[in-house]
């Protein structure tokens, strides 16, 4: 989407209030804010990051090559699904570099930047209008645009990258750590496949006695979306969220969460299983083979539920959240996180623990329920050292236990420690 035209049109259509001018009832009040930050990070990693694995015949380990079709049916494939192809000696590679190709020479340095643009105007009839683009990139004219209309009736927000769960879920502090290796899910699940594209609309009600509600809808106008090997067609996605905040003496309690539901009009059990067989047949890695054989990718209808809470007392805040994505014909995803934050002498400390689980859709021939799991422990400390300049410390340890790595690296464990300087403007 070309957003430069949208920004120009908004600037032309509004009239800015000049300094010294008293606003009248017929004059719009406008504001344009451009902010951002540049983060310079130095990081060191260690653990099993560069252990090399030996290729192994995973196919023969999982299936009897003389009875492939029978084993597949025992796993849960329909009898009319074509059997996997076995070309002896077929071998699969393992994750030989859990650090994802990072330079083995420590430390590693990186620079990231983020630019946010927000235009807001207050109309004479009491309505407010805002255009915002988070993480805008001037070179590609792309980012995360949204349009918000507010008034006494509440607020309506339009965006491609928004969900009711992402907007209402609280208690997530301590999740999404900067890990040395790729975890199972990399934080809480906040949207179904149905709200990944198209236009998302979320309506937020006015707050009443600390209670807020939100209703979301996504109408996917495209004929189908490509996600891995599946052709998806989620025409309607609906969601309902809530938030509540109250004071109990000196304690502040905030609770929030949502439920999102999307129905798939094209992914029948036959379609999902055929896509899984294709994925397994074309894979050259153990991860890809397991994904297809046992059904790792979400497929069919999806239901996502998430809830979390923050409890603040004094300089302490305790956060906890849980999210669960249930896929009717594919893998299911669960995330639970716990975080404790405290401020001491202008330094913000945060310690967090997260567990992530991905359940495969089918069990193996022995009836074992297959899962990928990760556990992440992290510590962050941030201190302002000047006007718009912060220094931060991040330490994390990540343990990843993928079922596809049992015959290769096995369980992976790695740590990361980094120092960052954030320059805001």
What's the whole-model pTM score? 0.85
pLDDT at 162 over 60: yes
pLDDT at 168 over 60: yes
The per-residue pLDDT for 421 is: 94
21 occurs within a structural domain: no
pLDDT at 331 over 60: yes
Low-confidence winner among 96-105, 222-231, 246-255 (lowest mean pLDDT):
222-231
Which residues lie across from 311 on neighbouring strands?
Answer: 253, 318
The per-residue pLDDT for 46 is: 85
Q: Which of the residue ranges 58-62, 194-198, 379-383 has the most confident prediction, judged by mean pLDDT?
A: 379-383
Query: What's the mean pLDDT in 45-54?
Result: 78
338 occurs within a structural domain: yes
269 occurs within a structural domain: yes
Using the 8-state DSSP alphabet, how is residue 104 labeled?
A: S
134 occurs within a structural domain: no
pLDDT at 19 over 60: no
Low-confidence winner among 102-116, 263-277, 341-355 (lowest mean pLDDT):
102-116
Domain harbouring 98, CATH code? 2.40.160
φ and ψ at 223, to 5 degrees? -70, -30
Query: What's the mean pLDDT in 197-215?
Result: 92
- Cα separation, 186 vs 173, in Å, equals 13
φ and ψ at 24, to 5 degrees? -105, 175
333 occurs within a structural domain: yes
For 303-345, the DSSP string reads: EEEEEEEEEEETTEEEEEEEEEEEESSS-EEEEEEEEEEEEET
186 occurs within a structural domain: yes
268 occurs within a structural domain: yes
Of residues 1 and 186, which shows the higher confidence score? 186
- Cα separation, 401 vs 187, in Å, equals 16
**Mean pLDDT of all residues in the chain?**
85
23 occurs within a structural domain: no
The structural domain count of the chain equals 1
pLDDT at 9 over 50: no
pLDDT at 135 over 80: no
Low-confidence winner among 85-99, 261-275, 405-419 (lowest mean pLDDT):
85-99
Domain ranges, residue 192: 38-113+153-424
């Amino acid at each position: 989407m070309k957003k430069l035209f949208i920004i120009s049109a908004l600037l032309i259509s509004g009239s800015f209030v000049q300094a010294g001018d008293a606003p009248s009832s017929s004059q719009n009040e406008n504001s344009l804010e451009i902010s951002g930050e540049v983060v310079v990070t130095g990081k060191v990693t260690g653990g099993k990051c560069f252990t090399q694995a030996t290729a192994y015949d995973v196919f023969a380990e999982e299936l009897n090559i003389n009875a492939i079709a029978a084993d597949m049916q025992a796993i849960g494939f329909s009898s009319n699904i074509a059997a996997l192809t076995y070309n002896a000696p077929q071998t699969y590679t393992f994750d030989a570099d859990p650090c994802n190709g990072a330079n083995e020479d420590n430390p590693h340095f990186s620079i990231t930047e983020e630019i946010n643009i927000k235009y807001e105007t207050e109309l004479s009839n009491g309505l407010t209008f805002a255009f915002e683009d988070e993480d805008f990139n001037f070179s590609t004219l792309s980012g995360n645009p949204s349009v918000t209309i507010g008034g006494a009736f509440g607020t309506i927000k339009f965006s491609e990258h928004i969900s009711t769960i992402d907007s209402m879920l609280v208690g997530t502090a301590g999740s999404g750590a900067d890990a040395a290796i790729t975890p199972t899910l990399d934080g809480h699940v906040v949207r179904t496949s149905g709200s990944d594209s198209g236009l998302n609309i979320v309506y937020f009600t006015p707050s009443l006695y600390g209670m807020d509600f939100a209703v979301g809808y996504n109408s996917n106008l495209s004929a189908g979306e490509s996600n891995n090997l599946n052709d998806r067609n989620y025409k309607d996605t609906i969601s309902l969220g809530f938030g509540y905040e109250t004071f109990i003496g000196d304690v502040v309690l905030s609770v929030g969460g949502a439920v999102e539901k999307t129905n798939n009009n094209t992914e029948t059990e036959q379609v999902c299983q055929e896509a899984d067989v294709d994925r397994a047949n074309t894979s050259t890695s153990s991860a890809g083979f397991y994904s297809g054989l046992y059904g790792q990718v979400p497929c069919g209808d999806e239901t996502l539920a998430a809830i979390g809470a923050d409890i603040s007392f004094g300089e302490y805040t305790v956060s906890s959240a849980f999210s669960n994505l249930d896929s009717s014909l594919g893998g299911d995803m669960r995330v639970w996180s716990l975080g404790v934050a405290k401020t001491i002498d202008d330094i913000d400390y945060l310690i967090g623990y997260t567990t992530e689980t991905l359940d495969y859709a089918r069990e193996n021939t022995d009836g074992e329920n297959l899962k990928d799991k990760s556990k992440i422990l992290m510590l962050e400390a941030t201190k302002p050292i000047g006007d718009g300049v912060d220094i931060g410390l991040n330490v994390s340890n990540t343990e990843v236990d993928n079922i596809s790595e049992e015959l290769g690296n096995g369980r992976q464990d790695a740590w990361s420690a980094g120092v960052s300087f954030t320059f805001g403007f």
